[in-house]
């Protein structure tokens, strides 16, 4: 089972779209619902293609509270069915599907003197109902303990900054906390790929009908027509763009990101009632080094943005509410960042979006296009099952098996005892990041850490290692810096950390994105986006501070790699002669490249390794200015060979001024 997602696989599968017949199911959208549908269908034996315009977990799926919750909040609105469904799906995730990504988290409501008797009674009743839901869902108390009363000392042990004055103790309830919501999406997508699903990111779907769509590769501009027996629109809050007849009422949920130090080392979730409101709470949810404070529920008007942001009013509301329970208030000066996600709620007559049901809906249009909306991250599996069942019925598909996902383990999943033992075995034994790697990668942690030279942090002050960036590129489908920083590692949730880690992300892409592949123009990082900057005289403008003797930066290395890629496909003698005058010793390296090309028919894998090694040797010799000259010469030569006058003139000017 090949679960690796990477640029090579993407290119191969895109190239094969034109020769394959109609697939059973085309899924549009790479959020948790879309990848869940792909996994459900592929594990039943159906042929599946998934197209995502951006990246896996680009939208709402990565902006959650990072909880797999049992639906307690829905009991307050009387939506017992949704609450029970959530409790069942939470148990499936924690016991079978993704035990490596979810841990039990106590959530505490501090009983302060400002809290009225009715609020205390409401919380206590809700927690008891949550216990009943847990038992009804079959989740054992050894995994999620029953709710209980805590003393004031116990509350402050978990939450040191809670106000001691008037504290009468607390009420505790256990729920599931995700290590990372985006990691869950990636794990589902990779598992689907292991069952044969084609997972295509950076592919925009247009001309969508119930029997197919046109996919445009955002990296090359190439268009592919995909025929399908059934098509599911799983684009979430953007569903109306694909299916205009579907009316949604998006709701924005915003969170703030604080350092752990602002809360004195919080070890349990802190749940604080909103003053003057009934059944509304703000949460402070801890991770190892951060605390997420949320959640709002605000109507969103107008166009749906790709990346929503928290409003100033929401930031003030969250800070003011959480501070009602703290002896040492937090403020904007403590903020590391903020984020917001949009819920794809069906339009209703409710005055408040908080009152709209979180039930999902499967809608079939007149042309047969199936759209799924509503729901939430915890119940993605149930939503996927409903969508696939509808597609099978509508299109008369013939799956080989019934739905398998109730007990289908995702990549990295393992028994909790086995996961605990992994950190004490080679190659993780004794390494300071062992426990964190196991928490994030489960049984794949050993594979991530297979090269001990890559287990150093990418930059001082961060735990993320070079090994994780490499794994994200070679196995998790990361194609650019944003994929690495914002969705595979989540470094980007802190603005300062993102800026510090950005050079490392560029370097990782230069080192590993093209390794193991024949370098061609359409398979290089950010080719379409940076082509104009890389060619000729514009190169020097991109690196104004570069001295002639400065070694290549990561972006300069990409420049040199593109030049090398072009040289692999054209006669290189003229370029070799000109380059030798600029970079002593380059001729021998280029000879290695030429010899590697000649061995293409004998051993493609060995050739790829030789090319990567030779490319590294060459780029190590070159300065940024040299790389620009070589690239300009390469484009000029290619233009001459292809007989493109305009391109030849353009490349000639660039080469002349490089």
Domain limits, the chain: 7-61+182-243+362-395, 100-175+251-343, 416-512, 521-657
CA angle 251–253–257, rounded 5-degree value: 165
Q: In the 3-class helix/strand/coil scheme, how is 285-346 assigned residue by residue?
A: EECCCEEEEECCCEECCCCCCCCCCCCHHHHHHHHHHHHCCECCCCCHHHCCEEEEEEECCE
User: 10 Å Cβ neighbour count for 498?
Assistant: 19
Output the six-digit token pair for 3.
């679960």
φ, ψ dihedrals at 42, nearest 5° = -65, -40
Please give the Cα distance from 255 to 321 (Å, whole number): 13
Chunk the chain into consecutive blocks of 10 residues (it has 658) and report each block's average pLDDT, rounded to whole numbers: 95 92 97 99 98 97 94 78 93 97 97 89 90 94 96 97 96 97 98 98 98 96 96 96 91 96 97 88 95 93 90 97 96 96 76 57 95 94 98 97 97 92 84 90 94 94 96 98 97 95 95 56 37 31 31 47 48 46 57 57 48 55 54 48 41 35
**Residue entry with tokens 């042309």:** 367
Q: What fold does the segment set 416-512 form as a domain?
A: Helicase, Ruva Protein; domain 3 (1.10.8)
Give, for 119, the enclosing helix (H) or strand (E).
helix 117-136
Kind of pairing, strands 298-299 and 102-110?
unpaired
> Could you give the count of Cα atoms lying within 13 Å of 451 in the half-sphere of its Cβ?
10
Is the Cα dihedral 78, 84, 85, 89 positive or negative? positive
CA angle 313–319–324, rounded 5-degree value: 125
Give, for 272, the enclosing helix (H) or strand (E).
strand 269-273
Kind of pairing, strands 170-178 and 67-68?
antiparallel
> Could you give the count of Cα atoms lying within 13 Å of 172 in the half-sphere of its Cβ?
22
> What's the CATH code, domain 7-61+182-243+362-395?
3.50.50.60
Report yes or no: 107 and 271 within 8 Å, Cβ to Cβ.
yes
Please give the Cα distance from 376 to 63 (Å, whole number): 12
Residue 551 CA from chain centroid, whole number: 32
For 623: left if phi > 0, alpha if psi spans -120 to 50, otherwise beta; the answer is beta
Q: Of 77, 64, 336, whose CA–CA distance to 177 is shortest? A: 64
Please give the Cα distance from 124 to 148 (Å, whole number): 9
Global pTM reads: 0.79
Report yes or no: 476 and 190 within 8 Å, Cβ to Cβ.
yes
Report yes or no: 185 and 179 within 8 Å, Cβ to Cβ.
no
pLDDT for position 460: 94
- Structure-derived torsion over alpha carbons of residues 371, 375, 380, 384, reported in degrees to the nearest 10: -30
DSSP bridge partners of 283: 271, 294
Give, for 28, the enclosing helix (H) or strand (E).
strand 23-28
φ, ψ dihedrals at 547, nearest 5° = -85, 160
User: Please, is 257 exposed, middle or buried when counting C-beta atoms within 10 Å of its C-beta (0-12, 13-18, 19+)?
Assistant: buried
pLDDT for position 542: 30
Please give the Cα distance from 215 to 201 (Å, whole number): 11
Output the six-digit token pair for 408.
């289908």
Q: In the 3-class helix/strand/coil scheme, how is 396-416 assigned residue by residue?
A: CCCCCCCCCCCCCCCCCCCCH
Q: How many helices (H) and strands (E) does the chain have?
A: 24, 18
pLDDT for position 344: 87
Q: Where are the alpha helices (DSSP H) in 451-494?
A: 466-475, 481-482
Q: How is residue 151 annotated by DSSP?
A: -
> Which residues fall within 8 angstroms of residue 132, CB to CB, at 6 or more apart?
none
Report yes or no: 358 and 374 within 8 Å, Cβ to Cβ.
yes
Q: What fold does the segment set 100-175+251-343 form as a domain?
A: D-Amino Acid Oxidase; Chain A, domain 2 (3.30.9)
Please give the Cα distance from 446 to 437 (Å, whole number): 9
DSSP secondary structure string for all residues of 31-68 = SHHHHHHHHHHHHTT--EEEE-SS-TT-SGGGSS-SEE
Residue 450 preceded by cis peptide, ω within 30: no
User: 10 Å Cβ neighbour count for 446?
Assistant: 17
> Which residues fall within 8 angstroms of residue 148, CB to CB, at 6 or more apart?
171, 172
Please, what is the angle between helix 80-92 and helix 117-136, to 10°?
50
Whole-angstrom Cα Rg for the chain: 27
């Amino acid at each position: 089972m090949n679960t690796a997602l990477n640029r090579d696989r993407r290119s191969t599968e895109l190239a094969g779209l034109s020769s394959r017949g109609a697939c059973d199911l085309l899924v549009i959208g790479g959020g948790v619902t879309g990848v869940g549908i792909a996994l459900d269908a592929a594990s039943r034996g159906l042929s599946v293609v998934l197209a995502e315009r951006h990246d896996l977990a680009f939208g709402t799926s990565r902006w959650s509270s990072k909880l797999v919750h049992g639906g307690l909040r829905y009991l307050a609105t009387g939506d017992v069915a949704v609450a029970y469904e959530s409790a069942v799906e939470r148990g499936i995730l924690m016991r079978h599907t993704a035990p490596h990504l979810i841990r039990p988290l106590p959530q505490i409501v501090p009983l302060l003197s400002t809290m009225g008797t009715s609020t205390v009674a409401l919380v206590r009743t809700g927690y008891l109902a949550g216990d009943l839901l847990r038992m009804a869902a079959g989740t054992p108390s050894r995994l999620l303990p029953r709710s209980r009363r805590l003393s004031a000392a116990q509350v402050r042990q978990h939450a040191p900054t809670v106000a001691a004055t008037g504290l009468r103790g607390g009420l505790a309830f256990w729920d599931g906390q995700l290590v990372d919501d985006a990691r869950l999406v990636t794990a589902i997508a990779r598992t689907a790929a292991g069952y044969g699903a084609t997972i295509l990111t950076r592919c925009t779907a247009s001309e969508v009908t119930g029997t197919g769509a046109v996919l445009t590769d955002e990296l090359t501009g190439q268009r592919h027509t995909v025929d399908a027996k059934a098509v599911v629109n799983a684009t979430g809050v953007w569903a109306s763009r694909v299916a205009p007849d579907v009316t949604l009422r998006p709701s924005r949920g915003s969170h703030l990101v604080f350092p752990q130090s602002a809360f004195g080392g919080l070890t349990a979730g802190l749940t604080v009632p909103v003053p003057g409101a009934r059944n509304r709470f703000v949460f402070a949810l801890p991770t190892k080094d951060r605390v997420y404070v949320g959640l709002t529920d605000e109507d969103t008007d107008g166009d749906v943005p790709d990346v929503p942001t928290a409003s100033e009013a929401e930031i003030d509301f969250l800070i003011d509410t959480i501070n009602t329970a703290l002896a040492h208030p937090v403020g904007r000066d403590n903020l590391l960042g903020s984020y917001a996600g949009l819920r794809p709620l069906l339009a209703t007559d409710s005055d408040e979006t908080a009152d709209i049901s979180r039930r999902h809906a499967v809608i079939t249009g007149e042309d047969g296009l199936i759209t799924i909306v509503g729901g939430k991250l915890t119940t993605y599996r149930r939503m996927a099952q409903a969508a696939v069942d509808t597609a099978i019925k509508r299109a008369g598909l013939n799956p080989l098996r019934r739905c398998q996902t109730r007990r289908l383990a995702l990549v990295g999943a393992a028994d909790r005892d086995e996961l605990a033992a992994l950190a004490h075995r080679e190659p993780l034994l004794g390494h300071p990041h062992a426990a964190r790697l196991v928490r994030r990668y489960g049984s794949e942690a050993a594979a991530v850490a297979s090269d001990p030279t890559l287990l150093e942090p990418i930059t001082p002050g961060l735990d993320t290692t070079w090994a994780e960036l490499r794994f994200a590129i070679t196995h998790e489908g990361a194609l650019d810096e944003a994929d690495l920083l914002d969705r595979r590692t989540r470094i980007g949730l802190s603005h300062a950390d993102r800026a510090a880690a950005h050079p490392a992300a560029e370097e990782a892409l230069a080192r590993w994105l093209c390794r193991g592949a024949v370098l061609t123009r359409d398979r290089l990082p950010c080719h379409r986006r940076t082509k104009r900057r890389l060619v000729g005289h514009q190169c020097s403008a991109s690196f104004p501070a570069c001295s002639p003797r400065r070694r290549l930066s990561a972006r300069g290395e990409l420049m040199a790699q593109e030049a090398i890629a072009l040289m692999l496909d054209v006669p290189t003698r003229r370029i070799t002669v000109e380059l030798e005058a600029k970079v002593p010793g380059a001729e021998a390296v280029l000879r290695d490249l030429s010899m590697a090309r000649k061995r293409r028919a004998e051993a493609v894998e060995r050739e790829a390794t030789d090319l990567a090694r030779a490319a590294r040797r060459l780029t190590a010799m070159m300065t940024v200015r040299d790389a620009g000259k070589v690239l300009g010469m390469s484009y000029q030569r290619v233009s001459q060979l292809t007989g493109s006058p305009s391109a030849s003139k353009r490349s000639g000017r660039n080469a002349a001024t490089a």
